[in-house]
Amino acid sequence: MPFAVDYPALSSGTPRHLSTQFITECATALRFAMFGTRGKPVEANELAAKATRFVINGRPMRIVWDIEHDVRDADGKSVLGVCEHDPDEPDAVMISVSGPRLASRPATLRSTAVHELAHAIFDMPVALGGRTRKIIRTVVDEHRPAKSRKIDWPEWRVGVFMGAFIVPLDRLANAVARQAGALDMPFRWRTGPNGLPLPSIAGDRDADMIDCLVESLADSFGVSPAFMAVRLKKGGFVAPHVITFEGRV
């Protein structure tokens, strides 16, 4: 049974402007459809086994995965992942992730796999519809943030999707409340998107305690502390100025 994903798009298949909340809800719903309410992190090989057949805005898409080999670009340089469409395979998208290279870094392997899946969902329907070759390479390591004043909207979309898929907001809210309670860190409840109750930790908390919280949550969700720090800041769980970890989503 294919997974259905629908979002506002032009007739070409190019996504219209999608809000953070819309993408977040899309990612959360897809994760639930694939893995239900399981709490443990989703591994790259599990995602590859599940995410093979989709219907995107009514268009069938078949995804072929390769996480067994390291990936290189046309110049022979190593990259983290590639998402591509060959017009000779009309309904197929190929996702390749550098599994051997990232074997010792499961958090990056996991996030790269979800990152490429998001490119397939949002950026490949236009290639399938136009029967044109399209290749998107992921070359930036999460420990070396890319800095640019201009927003790359496709990368922004997949970043929002990846964060919400790997660390769903509702589960993060429950985990923050539970872990903050275990650490005797006071927090207050506020109303988030769609009425979701979210815990907010006071901004005057000790930085070392915040770091302890970040590390504990990162371990629970199978992500790096830098990744978790971004999720906490964007979700408004912790004041940005008290988090010391740096990195990109």
Percent of the chain with pLDDT over 70: 91
- How far is Cα 99 from Cα 105, in angstroms, rounded to an integer? 9
pLDDT digits (tens, 9 = 90+) for 21-53: 999 999 999 999 999 988 899 999 999 999 999
pLDDT digits (tens, 9 = 90+) for 153-174: 999 999 999 999 999 999 999 9
Count CB neighbours of 44 within 10 A.
22
Name the band, by pLDDT with cuts 50, 70 and 90, for residue 246: low
Residue showing tokens 């290749």: 135
Count CB neighbours of 60 within 10 A.
13
> Which two tokens mark 189?
């409840």
pLDDT at 73: 83
Inter-residue contact 145 to 248 (CB < 8 Å):
yes
3-state secondary structure (DSSP) of residue 179? helix
Q: Is the pLDDT of residue 143 over 50?
A: no
Q: Rounding to the nearest 10 degrees, give the CA dihedral for residues 57, 60, 66, 67.
A: 40
